[in-house]
């Protein structure tokens, strides 16, 4: 107990530990990574034997978290927003099965795409799965929501989706913590088959239950201490805030609110409170981070007469993060760009580190592919995506994790030669392995480069699930060991590397090249740690 200066992510992690967590399951992804890292570094978590190893991907993470919940213990599952696409099969069906021990699923969304391929708003997933959602407006609320959220999950019998965005995850504020609770003992459901076996006949019953539960979720939202109606004297406008937008509105109104404000941080959207605001005010301004989820709900297709302002009518920018300045402009205040970037912050394009093995891999690959004008290189997600930029300009695509192998396969099926895939070691075990099996099964003419730096570098150097086992994994999947070629990406080895690349491009079948050299960042960190 006490007051701490926590990142939003740290507040979530500490709250989970304090609430009697038994396991966190996650795959790294900005801005969610710090939650799991905090738990990994917590002496209390170690003492309490809280599971905290990284999972191979978000789907395996969520399934393991559901398994721990099945066994009656409290579990937390963390991912960045696009991770929920990977875990969506489990996510949608966990809403059907419900849970046993409390389960919180954290989605850390990244509007403005600071380090992501898109800016999807995962409140859409919460609505899609029809489960309750929490979206804190401050670090303290993030703590409180997680601390009490496991009980809410157990009371309702469903997982809770907790949504934060980059600024909430990565900014600090004072947080008051609560007493630490006991972990729950293992207690599997008496007859879990009724809910955890989603055979059609049983699943139909579960779906009816989920539909019936909507009313209960709504009542919870109406009575939630997180959803608050603040009255204000000037009813020409009513303001709805969701999540962190409440924080931004408060910053713009240091002397209190002139207009009535409805703060929503628990979903489903509390209908009675919403009606109260709409009935009381002439026009409505919706401030939300991400998609116009609530705004769209309000407008509907046939809601004539109600004037709603927000992202849909251009009052706020349709894409990108919400900012305190944007909120000020929407309120008609004079804004002096408090949050403009100071000039000393120079914009720099990202680049591969000097001394990075991916550089030497690309150099050799580019030199060989210059001999094959029809070559296409399908890239993937990780540090090596920077190979798209000068000086290498080495890849032709980057869509989602694992897509390099499968896209190269499809292109090879269409006649592209050479069809090359470049994938990192962590991305390969995240979602490349199944694509490799497709290639093996059809003996696709493909050259796959697994650029192995023995870590998950992009997100800060977390353990990579296949370190030390990539060759045996590929052989196990069925790649001919004669065409699994390991090399050390260093300048002095260029000629040998180029010869191997050439040979394997010419081989008509599945080849896997593994340039392996430890990430320069993790190596430097290890060396520093050894010196201490």
Output 2 or 468, the one with its CB closest to ligand TPP.
468
- Measured CA to CA, the distance from residue 302 to residue 293 in angstroms comes to 16
User: Comparing C-alpha atoms, which of 362, 422, 435 is closest to residue 57?
Assistant: 435
**Tokens standing for 107?**
């989605």
- The answer to the question of residue 455 lying near ligand TPP (CB under 6 A) is yes
Residues 6+ apart with CB under 8 A from 305: none
- The answer to the question of residue 386 lying near ligand TPP (CB under 6 A) is no
User: Comparing C-alpha atoms, which of 312, 138, 338 is closest to residue 252?
Assistant: 338
- Measured CA to CA, the distance from residue 61 to residue 402 in angstroms comes to 17
Q: What is the largest CA-CA distance in the chain?
A: 78
Tell me the site size for ligand TPP, rule CB under 6 A: 23
- The answer to the question of residue 453 lying near ligand TPP (CB under 6 A) is yes
Output 140 or 427, the one with its CB closest to ligand TPP.
427
Among 150, 459, 477, 516, which residue interacts with ligand TPP (rule: CB under 6 A)?
Answer: 459
Which secondary-structure segment (H or E) carries 235? none
What residues from 236 to 275 belong to the interface with ligand TPP (CB under 6 A)? none
Minimum distance from residue 38 beta carbon to ligand TPP (Å): 17
- The answer to the question of residue 456 lying near ligand TPP (CB under 6 A) is yes
- The answer to the question of residue 426 lying near ligand TPP (CB under 6 A) is yes
Name the residue number minimizing CB distance to ligand TPP. 424
Per-residue string for binding with ligand TPP, 353-382, x by CB under 6 A? ----------------------------xx
Residue 240's CB: how many other CB atoms inside 10 A? Answer: 27
CB 138 within 8 A of CB 95: no
Output 329 or 353, the one with its CB closest to ligand TPP.
353
Q: Whats the size of the chain, residue-wise?
A: 532
Among 384, 398, 444, 515, which residue interacts with ligand TPP (rule: CB under 6 A)?
Answer: 384
- The answer to the question of residue 412 lying near ligand TPP (CB under 6 A) is no
Minimum distance from residue 351 beta carbon to ligand TPP (Å): 13
What residues from 83 to 102 belong to the interface with ligand TPP (CB under 6 A)? 83, 86
What residues from 45 to 84 belong to the interface with ligand TPP (CB under 6 A)? 80, 82-83
DSSP 8-state class, residue 109:
E
CB 447 within 8 A of CB 511: yes
- Measured CA to CA, the distance from residue 127 to residue 95 in angstroms comes to 11
Where on the chain is the footprint of ligand TPP (CB under 6 A)? 27-29, 80, 82-83, 86, 381-384, 401, 424-427, 453, 455-459, 464
């Amino acid at each position: 107990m006490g007051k701490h200066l926590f990142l939003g992510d740290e507040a979530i992690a500490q709250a989970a530990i304090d609430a009697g967590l038994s396991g966190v399951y996650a795959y790294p992804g900005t801005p969610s990574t710090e939650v799991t890292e905090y738990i990994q570094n917590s002496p209390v978590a170690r003492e309490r034997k809280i599971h905290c190893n990284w999972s191979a991907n978000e789907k395996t993470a969520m399934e393991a978290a559901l398994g721990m919940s099945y066994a009656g213990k409290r579990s937390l599952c963390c991912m960045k927003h696009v991770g929920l696409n990977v875990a969506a099969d489990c996510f949608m069906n966990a809403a059907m099965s419900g849970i046993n021990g409390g389960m919180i699923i954290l989605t850390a969304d990244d509007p403005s795409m600071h380090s992501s391929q898109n800016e999807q708003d995962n409140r859409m997933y919460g609505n899609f799965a029809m489960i309750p959602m929490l979206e804190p407006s401050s670090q303290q609320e993030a703590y409180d929501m997680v601390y009490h959220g496991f009980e809410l999950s157990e009371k309702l019998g469903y997982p809770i989706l907790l949504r934060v965005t980059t600024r909430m995850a990565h900014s600090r504020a004072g947080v008051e913590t609560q007493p630490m609770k006991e972990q729950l003992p293992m207690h599997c459901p008496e007859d879990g088959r009724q809910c955890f076996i989603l055979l059609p006949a049983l699943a139909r019953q579960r779906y009816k239950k989920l539909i019936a539960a909507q009313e209960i979720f709504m009542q919870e939202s109406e009575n939630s201490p997180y959803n608050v109606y603040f009255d204000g004297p000037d009813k020409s406008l009513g303001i709805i805030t969701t999540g962190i937008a409440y924080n931004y509105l408060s910053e713009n109104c240091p002397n209190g609110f002139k207009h009535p404000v409805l703060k929503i941080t628990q979903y489903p959207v509390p209908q009675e409170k919403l009606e109260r605001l709409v009935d009381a005010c002439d026009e409505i301004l919706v401030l939300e981070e991400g998609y116009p989820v609530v705004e769209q709900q309000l407008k509907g297709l046939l809601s004539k007469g109600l004037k709603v302002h927000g992202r849909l009518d251009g009052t706020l920018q349709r894409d990108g993060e919400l900012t305190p300045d944007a909120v000020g402009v929407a309120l008609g205040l004079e804004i002096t760009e408090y949050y403009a970037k100071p000039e000393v912050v120079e914009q720099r394009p990202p680049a591969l580190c000097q001394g990075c093995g991916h550089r030497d891999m690309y150099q050799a690959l580019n030199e060989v592919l210059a001999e094959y004008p029809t070559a296409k290189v399908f890239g993937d997600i990780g540090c090596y995506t920077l190979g798209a930029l000068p000086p290498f300009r080495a890849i032709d695509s980057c869509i989602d994790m694992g897509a390099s192998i499968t896209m190269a396969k499809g292109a090879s099926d269409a006649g592209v030669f050479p069809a090359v895939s470049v994938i990192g070691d962590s991305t390969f075990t995240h979602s490349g392995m199944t694509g490799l099996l497709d290639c093996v099964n059809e003996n696709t003419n493909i050259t796959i480069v697994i650029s192995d730096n023995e870590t998950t570098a992009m997100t800060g150097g977390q353990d990579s699930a296949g370190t030390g086992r990539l060759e045996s994994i590929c052989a196990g999947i069925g790649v001919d060991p004669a065409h699994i070629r390991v090399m050390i990406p260093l300048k002095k080895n260029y000629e040998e590397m180029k010869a191997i690349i050439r040979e394997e491009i010419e081989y008509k079948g599945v080849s896997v090249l593994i340039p392996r050299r430890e990430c320069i960042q993790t190596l430097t960190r290890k060396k520093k740690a050894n010196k201490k």
